[in-house]
Structure 1
Amino acid sequence: MENFDDFFTETFETATLANNLVTLRGLRETATGPSSPESILQAIEESREHLTEHLPWIRDTDIFDIKKRIRSWILNEKFRQGGCWLIYKNPDGEISTDSTTPVAGAIMMDVNIRNHSATLSYWLRKGYTGQGIMTEAVKLISAFSFATLKLNRLEILVSVDNPKSAAVAKRCGFTEEGINRDFELINGKFVDHRRFSLLARDVYSCLPE
């Protein structure tokens, strides 16, 4: 392969990804309708108590904070440092469009080009939990990361008090590596996190020859 930094810089984008259950679309600052900052805030407000347990930034989020976060993620994408995809549940198994389908959640990627790796994080609107949506979103991002972006490693870090998020990582083939002690300050308390990883060779070594 050519120099990886050059390859990744030319290749990375928050491309639309989809399967029968979900569609992932890259965050855009000028988006309207269900992808607008106001609609994203509404999704968060409907699930604020549900999300705040593990995402402390949710508690005081307002429209100005949402717009700031959107600009931050767009800059990350511009400089190939990461990106954010909005998650939509496909109606009737058909790829969703921004104009008709509400946002179900988001999945974020922080990239470390030097190490050919990335860390994934995500949140899901309360009314969309328990339907396999996040599992499918992580699978789509993982396939894109290895097949298109040629990354070598993905990580997911989840609170030890968040078994549902850990279950997503396991269903997607991630291996638990250990505990990061006092990894994050959540609601005034230092919380340990479980570290999961998936390597390119974990995926491709399982494919039939």
Structure 2
Amino acid sequence: MDNFEDFFTATFETATLANNVVTLKGLRENSEGPISAESIMQAIEKSREHLSEYLPWVRDTDIFDIKKRIRSWILNERFGQGGCWLIFKNADEEITAGDSTPLAGAIMMDVKLSNRSATLSYWLCKEFTGQGLMTEAVKLLSAFAFATLKLNRLELLVSVYNGKSAAVAARCGFMEEGINRDYELINGKFVDHRRFSLLARDVY
């Protein structure tokens, strides 16, 4: 193919990614079981207070909003602009769409093709925190972004109050670059964010 955009749009998909700890499964519209909109809503409902501390959209979200967000991410994938993977903690047997494995969280990739870069964001249900799942998810998606998609740069933006998320970035090799002032309006207050990056040359 003549240019990177052609290569990327032909290559990019929210393929299932897995290691010994977690499995990432791409969002699909009208899916059933643990990757359905209903399962996502149920997981968020159980951790709504925990998640809404840093994710303002969570506080008032409902099943209709979740379905709209799923459609948006599927369109992003179709046009090579990004994607969303659901995170599952590995059990003894392989995860399938029909089993009862609970959803642990989600990780998103927002792609800027012109810069060969992407911004990662994520959330994790309260019951799955402190188990290293998000660290493994970020490592999996970073490897996919560099080795398969041939991106050059990944970014993470983390609230200055979210030490646990900043620790994930550090454990995954991301370098802190500085502060984005008043980056996000969270629960009525403008919040500074720490900016982290990881380059392909940092790991390859």
TM-score bucket (shorter structure) = over 0.9
Q: Find the counterpart in structure 2 of residue 207 from structure 1.
A: none
The CA deviation string for residues 33-85 of structure 1, in whole angstroms up to 9 with x for no partner, is 11111110000000000000000000000000000000000000001000000
Q: Distance in 2 between matches of 1:96 and 1:118?
A: 27
Q: Find the counterpart in structure 1 of residue 45 from structure 2.
A: 45
Q: Distance in 2 between matches of 1:2 and 1:19?
A: 33
Q: Find the counterpart in structure 2 of residue 97 from structure 1.
A: 96
Q: Find the counterpart in structure 2 of residue 184 from structure 1.
A: 184
Q: Find the counterpart in structure 1 of residue 30 from structure 2.
A: 30
- Mapping 1:69-148, distance limit 5 Å: 69-92=69-92, 94-100=93-99, 101-148=101-148
The CA deviation string for residues 167-194 of structure 1, in whole angstroms up to 9 with x for no partner, is 0000000000000000000000000000
Q: Distance in 2 between matches of 1:138 and 1:154?
A: 10
1:142 maps to amino acid: S
* Structure 1 unaligned residues grouped into runs of 5+: 205-209
2:138 maps to amino acid: V
- Mapping 1:169-180, distance limit 5 Å: 169-180=169-180
Contact 1:18 1:95 in 2 (8 A): no
The CA deviation string for residues 83-142 of structure 1, in whole angstroms up to 9 with x for no partner, is 0000010013x4322222111100000000000000000000111000000000000000
Any idea what SS the aligned residue of 2:130 has?
Answer: coil
Any idea what SS the aligned residue of 2:121 has?
Answer: strand
Q: Distance in 2 between matches of 1:69 and 1:146?
A: 26
Q: Which 10-residue stretch deviates more, 95-104 or 49-58?
A: 95-104
Tell me how large the CA RMSD over aligned residues is.
Answer: 0.9
Structure 1 residue ranges (4+ consecutive) displaced by more than 3 angstroms after TM superposition: none
Any idea what SS the aligned residue of 2:102 has?
Answer: coil
Q: Distance in 1 between matches of 2:94 and 2:193?
A: 34
**Residue-pair matches, total:** 203
Report the CA distance between 1:2 and its aligned residue: 4.5
Q: Find the counterpart in structure 2 of residue 11 from structure 1.
A: 11
* Structure 2 unaligned residues grouped into runs of 5+: none
Instruction: State TM-score, norm by structure 2.
Output: 0.98
- Residues 1:176 and 1:95: Cα distance change in structure 2 (over 3 Å): farther
Q: Find the counterpart in structure 2 of residue 60 from structure 1.
A: 60
Q: Distance in 2 between matches of 1:169 and 1:2?
A: 34
